[in-house]
């Protein structure tokens, strides 16, 4: 057993396109498992020398672990990919951060010397399994979580607006418009091509197509258009809309992790190295503020400050949540370090798939910015949690 932590590196990170949840979505007739299998096959194709027998565990984040996403999907995915029976697997639920937690747990496994090569991913088919589907909260849950709004993420965002009134709807809309612009520039520049694995799918009308681009982005979004949207979580005086919040989406993403020693021995080129991880809990009725304490924790563990972080990938569940985070750390809403390719307000947020998506984005941005040293991936989580990981560029 090593006395020191083993270096952990990211070798590759890929994802599906993100589709809209529902009958008009790309993946309405595609099962959750079948979103994941092509990703595993692509890892073998993209990484010469990688064999399924080298994978020691398959750890997947899944928020709604019922029906097609139940039955320990982390175990079933490599079997469906025809990797054999020898690869174990499990499923993890930390709601929105399930996939990022799967990565964090996998990192810990390798860092402790218990494994050298793992896959960690996340999948969510919100069209087939909507948020809260088949949930049965404890009778005391509402009381102990602070009230009914803790169960409705849109209401928790409205609560942040209430508690921190300096973050106005106009600011949220401006942040959302900027996100759509960054996303459009990134897509037109081909930034998504390397990470999105095309999947042949059947649509609701029976036609077939190749799903190779995200369905959610809305290029050309204007402040005027955003201002006119309904506020579904609060009819009078509401500030959270479909335009300044992430969408309901289907998608999957996976990360290939190795020990530094295994990567060097096998000739694999690391994209980035793990530095530190941290989770935090807050008042569930304002769950969106939780990336702040999680990031404060992880910076302390890493011996760094926010000034040391060159690239920030924050999951935009809601614009107000991102605004709170940036303001706390003294950053402007348009800080060039933040979500350079856009975020979940444009791309969508298929819950457990979003954490690995952040990692894939960070890998790509690191590659384009060899002078950048440290990057942050951070998320808020339903029921009042935050999860943050710091990575170091290996380029």
100 close to 61: Cβ distance less than 8 angstroms: yes
Active site residue 363: no
Q: Do residues 239 and 320 make contact, with C-beta atoms less than 8 angstroms apart? A: yes
How many CB atoms are located within 10 Å of the residue 232 CB? 12
The CA dihedral of 168, 169, 172, 174, to the nearest 10 degrees, is -100
Instruction: For residue 96, indicate whether it is catalytic.
Output: yes
Active site residue 90: no
Cα angle at 169 between 165 and 174, to 5 degrees?
125
What does the H/E/C string look like for the chain? CCCCCCCEEEEEEEECCCEECCCCCCCCCCCHHHHHHHHHHHHHHHCCCCCHHHCCCEEEECCCCCHHHCCCHHHHHHHHCCCCCCCCEEEECECECHHHHHHHHHHHHHHCCCCCEEEEEEEEECCCCCCCCCCCCCCCHHHHHCCHHHHCHHHHHHHHHHHCCCCCHHHHHHHHHHHHHHHHHHHHCCCCCCCECCEEEECCCCCEEEECCCCCCCCCCCHHHHHCCCCCCCCCCCCCCCCCECCCEEEEEEEEEEEHHHHHHHCCCCCEEEEEEEEEECCHHHHHHCHHHHHHHHHHHHCCCHHHEEEEEECCCEHHHHHHHHHHCCCCCCCCCECCCCCHHHHCCCHHHHHHHHHHHHHHHHHHCCCCCEEEEEEEECCCEEEEEEEEECC
- CB-CB contact of 346 with 248 (8 Å): no
Tell the burial category of 90 from Cβ atoms under 10 Å away from its Cβ (0-12, 13-18, 19+): middle
Token couple for 350: 């298929």
Question: Catalytic: which of 36, 179, 363, 380?
Answer: 380
Active-site option among 117, 161, 349, 363: 349
Which residue of the set 96, 117, 179, 363 is catalytic? 96
Residues that are catalytic: 96, 349, 380
């Amino acid at each position: 057993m090593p006395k020191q932590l083993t270096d952990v590196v990211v070798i590759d990170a890929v994802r599906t396109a993100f589709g809209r949840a529902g009958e008009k979505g790309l993946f309405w007739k595609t099962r959750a498992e079948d979103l994941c299998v092509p990703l595993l096959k692509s890892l073998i194709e993209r990484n010469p020398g990688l064999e399924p027998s080298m994978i020691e565990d398959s750890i997947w984040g899944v928020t709604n672990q019922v029906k097609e996403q139940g039955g320990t999907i982390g175990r079933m995915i490599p079997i469906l990919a025809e990797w054999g029976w020898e690869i174990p697997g499990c499923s993890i639920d930390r709601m929105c951060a399930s996939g990022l937690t799967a990565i964090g747990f996998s990192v810990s496994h390798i860092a402790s010397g218990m494994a050298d090569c793992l896959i960690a991913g996340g999948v969510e088919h919100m069209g087939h399994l909507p948020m809260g589907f088949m949930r049965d909260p404890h009778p005391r849950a509402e009381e102990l979580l602070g009230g009914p709004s803790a169960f409705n993420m849109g209401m928790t965002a409205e609560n942040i607006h209430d508690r921190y009134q300096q973050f106005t709807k106009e600011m949220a809309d401006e942040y959302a418009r900027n996100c759509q612009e960054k996303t459009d520039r990134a897509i037109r520049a081909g930034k998504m091509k390397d990470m999105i694995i095309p999947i042949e799918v059947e649509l609701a009308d029976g036609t077939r197509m190749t799903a190779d681009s995200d369905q959610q982005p809305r290029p050309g979004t204007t402040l005027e258009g955003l201002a006119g949207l309904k506020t579904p979580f609060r009819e009078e005086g509401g500030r959270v809309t479909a335009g300044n919040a992430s969408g309901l989406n289907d998608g999957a993403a996976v990360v290939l992790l190795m020990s530094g020693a295994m990567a060097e021995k096998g000739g694999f080129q690391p994209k980035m190295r793990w530095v530190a991880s941290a989770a935090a809990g807050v008042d569930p009725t304002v769950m969106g503020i939780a990336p702040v304490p999680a990031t404060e924790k992880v910076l302390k563990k890493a011996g760094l400050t926010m000034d040391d972080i060159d690239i920030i990938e924050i999951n935009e569940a809601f614009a107000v949540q991102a605004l709170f985070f940036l303001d706390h750390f003294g950053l402007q809403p348009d800080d060039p370090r933040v979500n350079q390719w856009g975020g979940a307000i444009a791309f969508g947020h298929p819950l457990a798939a979003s954490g690995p998506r952040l990692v894939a984005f960070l890998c790509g941005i690191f590659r384009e910015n060899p002078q950048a040293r440290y990057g942050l991936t951070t998320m808020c989580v339903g029921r009042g949690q935050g999860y943050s990981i710091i990575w170091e560029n290996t380029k």
